[in-house]
Amino acid sequence: MQEQRTRRGLLIILAGAVITMVLSTRVDYSWTVFLGEHRWPFLVKVMGQTVFEGESFGGVDPVILFLITVTGVYYLTWKTQREKLIRWRPHLGFILTCAVVGGIYVVHSLKWIMGRARPEPVITGGLPFTEWFTFGPHFVTEGIYRGAFPSGHTAEAMILFTLAYVFAGTPGHSIGQRVFGWCWGVAALVYASAVGIGRCMALSHWLTDVTGAIVLSWIACHVLFHHVLRVPEQIGYVHTHGQLPDTPPVWELRLCGYLLGVVLGGAAGILGLRGIGLGESTGFIGLALAGALLALLAAWRMALFYRRVRRGLNPPVVDNG
């Protein structure tokens, strides 16, 4: 029953993502220009600055401070034997994994692969406007570039959305905790949208860069929570056995390490194929082959490691009869 509900939830999220992207694509250019023309200087300034770069406190700085705290507590859960602290380990690992996958891997790989130009150089500088689902004018042959799709600031803000799953999706939580989780989820979506609107007003991102970051982050969050890290399953194991499953140390971050190889290899392979299609140097053939090889090797190692994790989550039943 729980598995069916989880799959149904994923289908609803995917359907909502498709509808959101279709609708925002239709008004992408016009609404972005409108937001740029009617910008709120305060919102633009706050959402674009960060205290970690020597500026004033910025709109996404709370997320960075939150992640620093989560990382520290996650480390302590593997180093201490305090039961109340250890029980939060699955949730902390989930939050960190979402930050790495959604906030880094997805965002930066797509920025490099898609090469979409930002609004400012398109509107004032003559670069062509391209849809979010097509390759843009930027490519690796020009050196380092800052692709527009998806919005990194918005994806970073969506990390706080993970707490909605922690409180509303964990077995054994009270009705009050679940209601708080739903309310937090709504607030996190509003916060991420405000960050995204500020970036659109600054003409740093298109509307679909923002909506794309939100839906991709939500999908990653749901899949990681229910289907990859299986947080409810880990918590259920605790309720049944009184302890966490026997999984490898810091296995969530180690899984992210293997996934990094898959992402880097996949991105290199796609960029290599695009370079071949654009008629660039024959070196892109080697890039495509090397990328594919790296992605396959990393995926194989990741599958082997994840198999070990699954054995810890679902240990074999011993028949003592």
Q: Give the per-residue pLDDT at 65.
A: 94
The radius of gyration of the chain from alpha carbons, rounded to an integer in Å, stands at 21
User: What would the pLDDT profile of 116-154 be if each residue is shown by its tens digit?
Assistant: 999 999 998 889 999 999 999 999 888 888 899 999 999
Q: How confident is residue 319, by pLDDT bands cut at 50, 70 and 90?
A: very low
CB 278 within 8 A of CB 139: yes
- Compute the residue count for the chain: 321
- pLDDT confidence tier of residue 3, bands split at 50, 70 and 90: confident
Mean pLDDT of 48-65: 85
Give dist(CA 109, CA 270) in Å, integer: 10
Q: Report percent pLDDT > 90 for the chain.
A: 72
pLDDT band, very low/low/confident/very high, at 166 (cuts 50, 70, 90): very high
CA distance 200 to 204: 6
Segment 99-125, tens digit of pLDDT: 999 999 999 999 999 999 999 999 988
Residue 283 burial (10 A CB sphere; 0-12, 13-18, 19+): exposed
Q: Which pLDDT score is estimated for 2?
A: 67
- On the question of pLDDT at 87 being above 90, the answer is no
Q: Please give the pLDDT value at position 1.
A: 59
Dihedral (CA of 70, 72, 75, 76) sign: negative
Q: Is 318 a residue whose pLDDT tops 80?
A: no
Place 198 in a pLDDT band, splitting at 50, 70 and 90: very high
At 315, is the pLDDT very low, low, confident or very high (cuts 50, 70, 90)? low
- Predicted local distance difference test score (pLDDT) of residue 149: 97
> In terms of pTM, does the model score above 0.75?
yes
